[in-house]
């Protein structure tokens, strides 16, 4: 953009502001000269009169010191900072450029260059988030090429310390810091943000580098912010068909409306861009702010997780010993059957043996009593015998075999005792 003269404004009686080389949010960036060291620098100025918070100046200085303590090849070097009147300023190294915004004016970038820019920016964000810093204004104008060909992330001076609770935010009431086209939905709604807002802005930057413009752009800043909050994420492959599938998936995950659906952190994004694969949705929190609750595990994971399987049905009682019971029952049945068969045999021999009354015959017919009987085992059928057949109880203790004797009339037959007397 064309430089705008500052009419030789001087800050801290040292930094002479030359032309304005950038503007956005609450600040402006000037090309300046350090009259003490005689070198060209970039000076970011912020008008504190637009911030109602009385402690904003002290907070800015505190955050500037934290930013100056960062040492990363992807973060611009901070030389100095301070507050003069209602102007807070941050002195940084002056990069030869161009910025990504100036590169986009020539058209979309090659896919390979977009991947490398994204890897370097996400690596820088990972380093900042590890120190508790959230940039809150990632956009093409805040990323510039250095003399070594790498890109640097600019303007960490208006960041918010993610874990600060002792001082109010630099953001004033009803004031949203950032640029509407690259603003996360939660940031657009004026809520507190964490590092995942930077990831959303990075998704917008990658989309813009691939397509030539941001994913959402309305007629006004407010309309644009509402689009971030409500409109569906456009498919980058529709506007840039040669975008690899993994890169399109990565951009879509970065642009998720819900912070919990975005990747787990800037380091995971850098690793995905190096491996050329889309990272999974966040499983761990990135810089949780005060008042937010853990887990900031991926809501996508939580929604997509299937319900737990039903508990297994209980086994029938005694299933393990049922075969033993069956064997015992079979043994008992066999034993009972054997006993019944033995009783049946004894009963049969008693029925087949002629009773003493049947031994009397007609005259002239010899009777079985004239023929001597032979002793046979009690378990087999016996031959006809004139002696009375013992009862089943006699089978347990059989009497000695007896010799044949004359038939005795039924009326005179004596009773037979178990002992045979």
Q: Cα separations (Å) of 163 from 135, 195, 295?
A: 14, 11, 16
Residue 65's nearest CA partner among 156, 165, 179 is 156
Q: CB atoms < 10 A from the CB of 4, how many?
A: 13
8-state DSSP, 386: S
Which tokens in the block code for residue 45? 């100025």
394 flagged as catalytic: no
Residue 404's nearest CA partner among 383, 358, 373 is 373
Whole-angstrom Cα Rg for the chain:
52
Q: Cα separations (Å) of 97 from 3, 116, 379?
A: 14, 16, 120
Cα dihedral value 186, 190, 195, 196, nearest 10: 10
**Active-site entry in 13, 34, 80, 137:** 137
C-beta of residue 194 within 8 angstroms of C-beta of residue 290: no
Residue 270's nearest CA partner among 214, 195, 216, 211 is 195
3-class secondary structure, 308: coil
Which tokens in the block code for residue 196? 């995942």
Q: Cα separations (Å) of 328 from 319, 322, 332?
A: 15, 10, 6
C-beta of residue 209 within 8 angstroms of C-beta of residue 117: yes
Residue 28's nearest CA partner among 191, 127, 158, 120 is 158
Residue 193's nearest CA partner among 161, 232, 228 is 161
Enumerate the active-site residues. 137
């Amino acid at each position: 953009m064309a430089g705008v003269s500052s009419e030789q404004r001087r800050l801290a009686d040292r930094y002479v502001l030359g032309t304005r080389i950038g503007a956005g949010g609450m600040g402006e960036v000037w090309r300046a000269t350090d009259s003490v060291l005689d070198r060209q620098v970039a000076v970011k100025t912020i008008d504190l009169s637009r911030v109602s918070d009385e402690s904003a100046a002290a907070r800015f200085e505190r955050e500037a010191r934290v930013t100056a303590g960062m040492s990363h090849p992807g973060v611009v070097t901070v030389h100095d900072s301070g507050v003069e009147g209602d102007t807070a300023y941050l002195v940084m190294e002056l990069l030869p450029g161009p910025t990504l915004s100036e590169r986009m004016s020539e058209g979309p970038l090659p896919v390979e260059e977009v991947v490398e820019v994204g890897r370097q920016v996400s690596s820088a964000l990972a380093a900042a988030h590890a120190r508790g810093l959230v940039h809150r204004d990632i956009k093409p104008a805040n990323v510039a090429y250095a003399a070594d060909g790498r890109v640097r992330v600019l303007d960490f001076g208006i960041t918010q310390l993610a874990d600060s609770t002792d001082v109010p935010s630099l953001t004033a009431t009803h004031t949203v810091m950032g640029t509407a086209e690259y603003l996360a939905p939660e940031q657009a709604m004026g809520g507190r943000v964490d590092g995942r807002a930077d990831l959303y802005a990075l998704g917008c930057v990658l989309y813009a580098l691939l397509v030539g413009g941001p994913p959402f752009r309305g007629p006004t800043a407010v309309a644009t912010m509402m689009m971030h909050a409500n409109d569906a994420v456009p498919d980058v492959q529709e506007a840039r068909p040669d975008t690899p599938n993994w890169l399109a998936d990565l951009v879509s995950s970065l642009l998720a409306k819900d912070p919990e659906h975005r990747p787990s952190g800037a380091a995971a994004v850098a690793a995905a861009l190096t491996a050329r694969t889309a990272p999974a949705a966040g499983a761990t929190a990135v810089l949780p702010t005060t008042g937010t609750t853990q887990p900031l595990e991926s809501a996508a994971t939580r929604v997509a997780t299937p319900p737990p399987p039903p508990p297994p049905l209980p086994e029938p009682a005694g299933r393990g010993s049922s075969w033993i019971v069956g064997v015992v029952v079979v043994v008992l049945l066999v034993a009972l059957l054997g006993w019944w068969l033995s009783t049946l045999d004894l009963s049969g021999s008693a029925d087949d043996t002629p009773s003493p009354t049947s031994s009397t015959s007609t005259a002239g017919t010899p009777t079985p009593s004239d023929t001597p009987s032979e002793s046979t085992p009690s378990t087999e059928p016996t031959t006809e015998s004139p002696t009375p057949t013992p009862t089943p109880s006699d089978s347990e203790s059989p009497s000695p075999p007896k010799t044949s004797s004359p038939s005795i009339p039924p009326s005179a037959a004596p009773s037979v005792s178990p002992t045979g007397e």
